[in-house]
Amino acid sequence: MSTDTISTDAMSTGARVPNRWMALVVLSLTQLVVVLDGTIVNIALPQAQLELGLSDSQRQWVVTAYALAFGALLLLGGRVADYWGRKRTYLWGMVGFGAASVFGGLAHSGTELIVARGLQGLFAALLAPAALALLTVTFPSGKDRNTAFAVFGAIAGAGAAVRLVLGGVLTEFADWRWCLLVNVFFVIVGFIGGLLFLTESKADGENRYDVVGAITVTLGLGSLVYGFSLAEGGWGTVETIGFLALGVVLLAVFVWIETKVVQPLLPMRIILNRVRGGAFLIQIVGGSVMIGSTLYLTFYLQIVVGMPPLDAGLASLPLPLAIMLVAPVATRLLSSIGPRPLMIGGPLIVAVGLVSLSFITVDGNYVIQVLIPLVIMGIGMAFVFVPLQNLALSGVAPHDAGAASAAANSAMQIGGSIGLSVFTAIYAAAIAGRTVTDEASQLEAFTAGYSATFVAASVGMVIASVVAAFLIRAPKSALLPQGDAPVMAHMG
């Protein structure tokens, strides 16, 4: 095991790291864990809700707590990894993630489960940027770098499909708690592998933490998400308006702080660029749609249709599979026609799929009402995500690449947490006025609520297309060369 600390400058000159292909295996495993845990509990939520007596609002927070903590703290996690040491941050992140997973797997109440998910998100915010930074310094340049990032990105893409199947298998044949406890295996392998094969590295120069900025943005986002979650009881209540207003004020204060501190958590030059700013806005909407729509689709398949967890997971697979299959086509189109047509057309294709999905019925046909809409959504999402990952770093200076990458991933997660809160409020409003007299009418009410969330998500994608039309004007020549400091976005 190497205990030497290698500076970022030394790594950029091409210093070779021993056992770097084994390091790639370890880091790819970490990427899989982070991607899996974003929504692996989706399949388990119906059972968890019954066993722990969760309300619909608490049920939503099981997913939101992870996405919110992960997204809000990801920027700080990247700074901690750079300044404190990437290997050290990785190892402590692994330990904390494993402990939070055990806590959640043994939870006896909804509150304990939500707290555990928040802790998972916190430690994932240390793990994810540390893993990406370690990969970057381990493979500083050349063909090996392209290969390493291709493997790393493939694992991220496959994670969306793996979590649906794995979540279904664990929930159906073991217990919903194993969707959390299974992480212990990954953590043990990742920790031991990290000790053996990863080499410590740090960023050079004077380093300061923007603690005030981190606290402000976390409280601001948390207040905003909580305000949206309170809208389930009414948009005009004092509590809803108060928390939403507080969130907006705190985020405005965060922007002001970032313009004043010497080493900001998020340099404003990253997001004030017209193209990158548009890409981040679209990423927020994309995250909300991916996380929100897949969650409510899971509820429909299990609660209304009555599918067992594994069948529900398999029934949801067409979405990630379509994204994976169409992504190479989108990549070729990106190099030939540029990002703008894809960014305008992609969201509209997703919107068509969501509108089609909104026509679900209690006793509907799976192929017509679910499979075809999911394939349409997957095609559109591939056209969105492929250029997004490139545009988020287009024109970014090398010293801002880490912050820009973290901002892109944060946008996806924050979008998911805010979107899920909004969708929950829309769902609650859709079923509030319906008369429920028996099980059949209750299922009809649930279906109406799920349909309303899909329609709302489609509106969001249309807005994303409009944003792209006005802001995404980057030519093909502005795109990042293949393999040069890519963004690893977690797609839902």
Q: Summarize pLDDT for 288-312 with one digit per residue, the tens.
A: 888 888 889 999 999 999 999 999 9
Contact 247, 220 (CB under 8 A): yes
Phi then psi for residue 356, to 5 deg, are -60, -40
Alpha-carbon distance of 366 to 368, in angstroms, equals 6
Closest CA to 124 of 155, 158, 166, 92: 92
- Comparing 463 with 491, the larger pLDDT belongs to 463
- Comparing 277 with 94, the larger pLDDT belongs to 94
Amino acid identity for residue 288 in this structure:
S
Contact 224, 418 (CB under 8 A): yes
SS (H, E, C) 269-335: HHHHCHHHHHHHHHHHHHHHHHHHHHHHHHHHHHHHCCCCHHHHHHHHCHHHHHHHHHHHHHHHHHH
Alpha-carbon distance of 201 to 199, in angstroms, equals 7
Asked if domains 1-208 and 270-492 share a fold, the reply is: yes
- Comparing 175 with 389, the larger pLDDT belongs to 175
Please provide the size of the chain in residues: 492
Residue 181 has pLDDT above 80, yes or no: yes
Mean pLDDT, the chain, whole residue set: 83
Q: Residue 408: its pLDDT value, please?
A: 77
Q: Residue 302: its pLDDT value, please?
A: 92
Alpha-carbon distance of 371 to 13, in angstroms, equals 49
- Highest average pLDDT, of 97-111, 228-242, 264-278, 329-343, comes from 97-111
**Mean pLDDT of the region 320-329:** 87
Q: Which of 3.40.50.300, 1.10.3720.10, 3.40.50.920, 1.20.1250.20 would CATH assign to domain 1-208?
A: 1.20.1250.20
Q: Residue 51: its pLDDT value, please?
A: 92
Percent of the chain whose predicted confidence (pLDDT) is above 90: 31
Closest CA to 371 of 324, 317, 325: 317
**Mean pLDDT of the region 239-263:** 91
Alpha-carbon distance of 76 to 37, in angstroms, equals 20
**Mean pLDDT of the region 364-368:** 90
Alpha-carbon distance of 28 to 374, in angstroms, equals 27
Contacts of 66 (CB under 8 A, 6+ apart): 37, 38, 117, 118, 120, 121, 124
**Mean pLDDT of the region 434-438:** 78
Name the token pair of 357: 């999905």
Residue 3 has pLDDT above 50, yes or no: no
pLDDT digits (tens, 9 = 90+) for 44-77: 888 999 999 988 878 888 988 888 888 888 888 8
Alpha-carbon distance of 124 to 130, in angstroms, equals 10
- Comparing 379 with 44, the larger pLDDT belongs to 379
**Mean pLDDT of the region 76-102:** 90
Residue 313 has pLDDT above 60, yes or no: yes
Q: Is 437 helix (H, G, I), strand (E, B) or coil?
A: coil
CA distances from 490 to 143, 259, 406, 481 (A): 24, 28, 11, 21
Contact 281, 384 (CB under 8 A): no
CA angle, corner 207, sides to 205 and 211, nearest 5?
Answer: 170
- Comparing 93 with 141, the larger pLDDT belongs to 93
Q: Residue 11: its pLDDT value, please?
A: 45
Lowest mean pLDDT among 76-85, 114-123, 202-211: 202-211
Q: Residue 356: its pLDDT value, please?
A: 96
Domain boundaries, the chain: 1-208, 211-260, 270-492
Contact 302, 171 (CB under 8 A): no
Count the Cβ atoms, other than its own, within 10 Å of residue 153.
18
pLDDT digits (tens, 9 = 90+) for 98-111: 999 999 999 999 99
Q: Residue 52: its pLDDT value, please?
A: 92
Confidence band of 248 (pLDDT split at 50, 70, 90):
very high
Closest CA to 83 of 221, 172, 204, 243: 204
- Comparing 398 with 470, the larger pLDDT belongs to 470
Q: Which of 3.40.50.300, 1.20.1250.20, 3.30.930.10, 3.30.70.260 would CATH assign to domain 270-492?
A: 1.20.1250.20
**Mean pLDDT of the region 364-382:** 93
pLDDT digits (tens, 9 = 90+) for 232-247: 777 788 888 999 999 9
Residue indicated by tokens 């075809």: 372
Residue 487 has pLDDT above 60, yes or no: no
Pairing mode, if any, of strands 5-7 and 200-202?
A: parallel
Q: Residue 475: its pLDDT value, please?
A: 59
Closest CA to 104 of 113, 95, 96: 113
Name the token pair of 251: 């985020």
Name the token pair of 298: 């899971």
CB neighbour burial string for 197-218, b if at least 16 within 10 angstroms, e if fewer: bbbbbbbeeeeeebeebbebbb
Confidence band of 448 (pLDDT split at 50, 70, 90):
very high
Residue 352 has pLDDT above 90, yes or no: yes
Q: Residue 89: its pLDDT value, please?
A: 92
Q: Residue 388: its pLDDT value, please?
A: 79
